[in-house]
Amino acid sequence: VWLPVIVSSRPGAFNIYGTSTSLFVILAWQIPGYFSAAYIVERIGRKLTLVLFLFCSFASALIFGYVEPTEVNLMCAGSFMSFSMLGAWGALYAYTPENYPTNIRAMGAAYPSGFSRISAIAGTYVIPLLHEAGWSPESVMWLNGAILMVCCVILFLFGYETRGKDIDDVLGMGNPAELHSGLSDLLSPYPDLLE
């Protein structure tokens, strides 16, 4: 929502909203991003795939912020960013649920998903405010890139690979995780379904 407005505000910039073809090309690259993530997660694992796509998202955000704002440049950089971001989402959708034992998987995956939606909504308000406060498109993209890199480093250092492991052995201890009934009662209105 905010990105084309910020980029097209640069002097002599191509208005990416001016043609539906440019937006269609950029958005079309989301599909191969998802499919490539789906392929790669089974080859190198969920964690490394997510790290790879997060790093590519960081690089593409910087490229998009710094390219000369012509139609071809913005379409190419935007397509790379679209491919990378949606590849990261694809890997994230494979990785997140596998971090929780079966009896709380839906709830465990729902919390990060909910926070991501809150952040996405907040971003549509915060980023334009930064732009109005005098932040350049480059600095806005550095901020977004920094957030992506922090996530990438945290995942690389502290995340664990879930591919090929017992889905209920999320801690890697060799035995399935179990919730105690007190925690089940606290986390679910239907604790008997968790046991």
pLDDT at 179: 45
Task: Identify the CATH number of the domain defined by range 3-168.
Answer: 1.20.1250.20
Pick from 124, 138, 117, 129: which is nearest to 61 by CA? 138
**Which of residues 134 and 9 earns the better pLDDT score?**
134
Q: State yes or no: pLDDT of 118 exceeds 90.
A: yes
Pick from 84, 89, 86, 108: which is nearest to 97 by CA? 108
Find the mean pLDDT for residues 19-37: 90
Measured distance CA(79)–CA(72) in Å, rounded:
10
Domain boundaries, the chain: 3-168
Structure tokens at 95: 């990785």
Torsion, CA 42, CA 114, CA 64, CA 81, rounded to 10: 20
Measured distance CA(145)–CA(21) in Å, rounded:
26
Q: Is the pTM of this model over 0.85?
A: no
pLDDT digits (tens, 9 = 90+) for 121-178: 998 888 888 888 988 888 888 888 898 899 899 988 988 888 877 776 655 555 555 5
